[in-house]
Amino acid sequence: MYTVRTIPPDILTDARGLTLQEAFTRIMALMDRHYAFARTCRIMHLMMTGVEEGEPEFLSEFTTDETARNAIMAQVCAYGFGRFRVITDDEYRRELLHRAA
């Protein structure tokens, strides 16, 4: 399970206990991005609205659609668009405990 945190972090807006797909969907919604996955030949692409200059292209060469979509969702969550951090729920708990100590 994953937690989506804003940058800078705010415990009031943290979204915990999310699957990868839920974390991805939350980021896309908060960024006001409409998106679709499309395959051209062997490559699955993420097409989305509101792409800004300098943003990477998200794609995957996995042959099964589900695996390719999951790989792209993981890329987006790792990138975070400079506004979000996606971490595991365990990492989130450790951060809170460290901050409280």
Residue-range definition of the domain harbouring residue 13? 2-100
The full DSSP string for 37-80 is: EEEETTEEEEEESSPPTTPPPPEE--SSHHHHHHHHHHHHHHHG
- Tally of domains within the chain: 1
Q: What is the pLDDT along the chain (101 residues), one digit of tens a residue?
A: 999 999 988 888 899 999 999 999 999 999 999 999 999 989 999 999 999 999 999 999 999 999 999 999 999 999 999 899 999 999 999 988 887 76
